Amino acid sequence: MKLGEIGEFGFIGRIAARIAEGKGVRVGIGDDAAVTEVQPGYVLLTTSDMLIEQVHFDLAFTDPYRLGKKSLAVNLSDIAAMGGEPRHFLLSLAIPVDLPLEFLDRFIEGVLAMADQYGVILIGGDTCRSSAGLVVSITLHGEQLPDRVVCRAGARPGDAVFVTGTVGDSALGLAQLRQGETAGPAVDRHLDPVPRVRAGIALAEAGFATAMIDISDGLLADLGHIAERSGVGARVDAEQLPISPFFRAAASRLSTDHLALALAGGEDYELLFTAPAPLEERIIDLMAALGVMCRRIGTITAAGSGIVVTGEGGRTLAVPRAGFNHFSGT
């Protein structure tokens, strides 16, 4: 069945029928605008991410269910990086006219599965025809008490730099997909990333993190964003980078620089954050209590010192710094 057979309003109706009433939602799908509440005393956090076929995803690599999950996951990751509790989202789709309805149904199932997992509610959006590929645009609302929100701008010289989970897996997975592999833990991390929502909220509630970002552009590029907004530099110890066993095993077989993949490969959706160095043990414990590995990988340095990566014996390494830039071709 094609979308044309049920029409735009039929499609929206099918989705709306699957949405439960939700906390804080006064009017959801089906009016000119959604009407929601923000808890008294809380500020509103809003993030928006657009995913474009052939730019962000390749339908030869991903199935619609995981694409739906990932579309919401990347937005959840942004709210997590502010320490916010995700609440409500809008989903806009530009749909090629010949896309099978079964594809869309599976995509929506993936979106709603991810939404259920994190307790967020679909409240609106837009649906239209695409003249080319599939376009997904999600706007996600979160909320948090204002003094708990963690921005990129709070890192101070002497702060330690931490990262959750492992880095480089997603970039490895993408490389594997391009070389014809279709499954495996790295491929899963690329196609089905896990946003660190509870870890982000816990860090915000504890008041530990001075600055935070999620790794979407690549560890060094995203650390660069923190450094720029905070007016500081940073030193990263390459030997402390958290690398998964499968990354270590597989990277050596790929014709690519193992360290560059871990430092510049994007889409890890891990949290990269800074905190006073004396809090290291408490932070590791707090994350461990949530089942999240966390490691100190470096130190914030003075303004003007840039981002420096050191290797064995503390010598400076030359590594590519640039993350993914949509218009530079890198």
Q: Which residues are annotated as a binding site for substrate?
A: 56, 267, 324
CA distance 201 to 286: 11
Q: Does position 105 bind its own copies by CB under 8 A? A: no
Q: Quick count: other Cβ atoms within 10 Å of Cβ 8?
A: 14
Candidate segments 134-142, 191-199, 243-251, 282-290, binder of its own copies by CB under 8 A: 134-142
Using DSSP, state whether 104 is helix, strand or coil.
helix
Candidate segments 80-88, 157-165, 181-189, 261-269, binder of its own copies by CB under 8 A: 80-88
Q: What residue numbers does the annotated binding site for Mg(2+) cover? A: 32, 47-49, 78, 126, 214, 217
Between 21 and 281, name the residue whose CB sits nearer to its own copies: 21
Amino acid letter, 100: P
Q: Does position 152 bind its own copies by CB under 8 A? A: yes
Candidate segments 133-141, 165-173, 185-193, 261-269, binder of its own copies by CB under 8 A: 133-141
- Report the site for its own copies in 155-174 (rule: CB under 8 A): none
- Report the site for its own copies in 180-239 (rule: CB under 8 A): 212-214, 229
Between 37 and 257, name the residue whose CB sits nearer to its own copies: 37
- 30 backbone φψ class: left, alpha, beta (φ>0; ψ -120 to 50): left
Candidate segments 106-114, 121-129, 238-246, 286-294, binder of its own copies by CB under 8 A: 121-129
* Beta strands at 43-52 and 135-144: parallel, antiparallel or unpaired: antiparallel
Between 198 and 258, name the residue whose CB sits nearer to its own copies: 198
Between 4 and 311, name the residue whose CB sits nearer to its own copies: 4
Minimum separation from the CB atom of position 253 to its own copies (A):
30
**Which residue in the set 129, 178, 248, 282 belongs to the binding site for its own copies (CB under 8 A)?**
129
Minimum separation from the CB atom of position 218 to its own copies (A):
13
Q: Does position 178 bind its own copies by CB under 8 A? A: no
CA distance 307 to 137: 32
Q: What residue numbers does the annotated binding site for ATP cover? A: 125-126, 152, 216
In contact, 276 and 159? CB cutoff 8 Å: yes
Chain centroid offset of residue 300 CA = 23
CA distance 307 to 186: 27
CA distance 230 to 222: 12
CA distance 140 to 142: 7
Q: Which two tokens stand for residue 326?
A: 């949509």
Number of residues that bind its own copies (CB under 8 A): 73
String of contacts with its own copies for each residue 10-49, x by CB under 8 A: -x--------------xx--xxxxxxxxx-x--xxxxxxx
CA atoms within 13 A on the CB side of 36: 25
Q: Which two tokens stand for residue 267?
A: 């889409």
Minimum separation from the CB atom of position 8 to its own copies (A):
5
Radius of gyration of the chain (CA): 20
Chain centroid offset of residue 304 CA = 28
